[in-house]
Homo-oligomer: A and B are copies of this chain.
Amino acid sequence: MTLVLCDLLGRDGYRFSPYVWRTKMALAHKGLAADIVGITLTDKSALSGWTDYRKAPVLKHGNTIVCDSWHIAVYLEENWPEAPALFPDRASLSFARFLNAWVVSDLYPLLLPLIARDVLDHVHSGDRARYRATREERFGRTLEQAQAQRESEAALFRSRLDPIREVVANSPFLCGDTPCYADYILFGLFQWARCTSAFPLLDHADPLYAWRREMLDLFAGLGREAPGYPC
């Protein structure tokens, strides 16, 4: 049965959704391929007939529609139990569940203002006005004003990473010697930045830099080959 993945389209070949990147890495981890359909922020017609849910990723597997990257990961794990595990044990499931919430609540809001002006240059042409308006309303300042402060504001984002830095300073991947879904959650965030912005988030001596390099190498360079910026 064919898998179809609904992705968020940027301009040209740019594909930067942090949530879709989680799913793309999870599919590759399971050795699965999926056809891609696309939505934009302003045109979600590709999902019509699938679901009323309106955010990528959405996975279609036969007649089954699975919305939200977390639910997709759980679905893949349950339906392809013989393929490499995304959650090899209960602790890795708990850690991933924690990160699934923490990355969105504690990291994403700090990273967004640093790169939102850059993201604007990579959204689909029909999305530019909407993207600017919604983000500027959230920030209470223009994208340019936010970006002008990023050298100083990046310090808080980087320090908030300290707990995860402790982990990768002591382990190749978040749950051991091989990557699992917890890694893909965090990687999605960095890949969102890498596909939209040349702003350097991590110093070369940072243990997270080495971890990200390993993540970019996975699956024949799936993340590295995607249109984006060296980092």
Task: Return chain B residues, CB-CB under 8 Å to A182.
Answer: 91
- Interface residue tally of chain A, by bracket? 20 to 34
Chain B residues within 8 Å of A52, by CB = none
Q: Do B97 and A95 touch (CB < 8 A)?
A: no
- CB-CB under 8 A for A94 and B163, given A89-B89, A106-B106: no
> Interface segment, A19-27, A58-66, A171-179?
A171-179
- This chain: how many copies in the complex? 2
Q: How far is the CA of A102 from the CA of B89 in the complex (A)?
A: 22
Choose from B97, B166, B170, B174 the contact partner of A167 (Cβ within 8 Å): B97
Which chain B residues border A91 with CB–CB below 8 Å?
A: 88-89, 91-92, 94-95, 174-176, 180, 182
Binding site for B on A (CB under 8 A): 88-95, 97-102, 105-106, 159-160, 162-164, 166-167, 170-171, 174-177, 180, 182
Given A91-B92, A94-B171, A106-B163, list of 13 further CB < 8 A pairs? Answer: A89-B92, A90-B177, A91-B94, A94-B167, A94-B174, A94-B175, A95-B98, A97-B167, A100-B163, A100-B166, A101-B163, A101-B166, A105-B163
